[in-house]
Structure 1
Amino acid sequence: MGRTNALLSEITLHSPLSLYEAIRLHSVSKKMSGTIYFIRNGTVVDCKKLPKLISFLMTTSETDQIKLIVDYEKEPKWLPIIRQILAHQPSQSFRKVPLHPMKKVKI
């Protein structure tokens, strides 16, 4: 097994993360070989657990200091994506698809 590394950062969310951003964080944490943790007031949340992540983010105010821990084995290729999500910047790989009205279908 490889040696693990950890990146620790203190962040303040100036606006709440959207549900979409929470799902993106969850998705990134599932794909990477490490783990992403949020810590606030003694509460630790693993981003791989979506319901707990959403609850944590919904109860976080704009002034709360949050610690972010990214635990990884290899060079974290996901780190720029994590930073982008937390900075509320739209990703190049996620494009918005226009919604079209559905046709009425008899079931």
Structure 2
Amino acid sequence: MAIRTTSTASTTTRSVDGDMTVEEFKEWLMKFDTDRDGRISREELKRAIRSIRGRFSGWKSRRGISYADSDGSGFIDEGEMDNLVAFARKSLGLKIVVSN
């Protein structure tokens, strides 16, 4: 997967390493679904952005939810995930590709 984790005695760092597929992105993002409701909240998205050392994670998570949440529920569900992929490409600079 393109988001890799490296650990030292005192820290854990995640970084983006090359391209990832849409499915890999969705799988990675769902690891932040802490309440296991199948949706991504603003707080969960904020933690995901922070995990890759994204700057301004609070602001970006608000924008991401606003961009991707087509039904206005305040959450990103499976049907809105493609909107979040587009946001991640555009605003987070992630390289997400369609798998063959």
TMscore range, shorter length: 0.3 to 0.5
Tell me: higher relative CO, structure 1 or 2? Use CA pairs within 8 A at least 6 residues apart.
Answer: 1
Task: Find the structure with the greater CA-based Rg.
Answer: 1
Alignment TM-score, normalising by the size of structure 1 = 0.31
Alignment TM-score, normalising by the size of structure 2 = 0.33
Higher helix share: 2
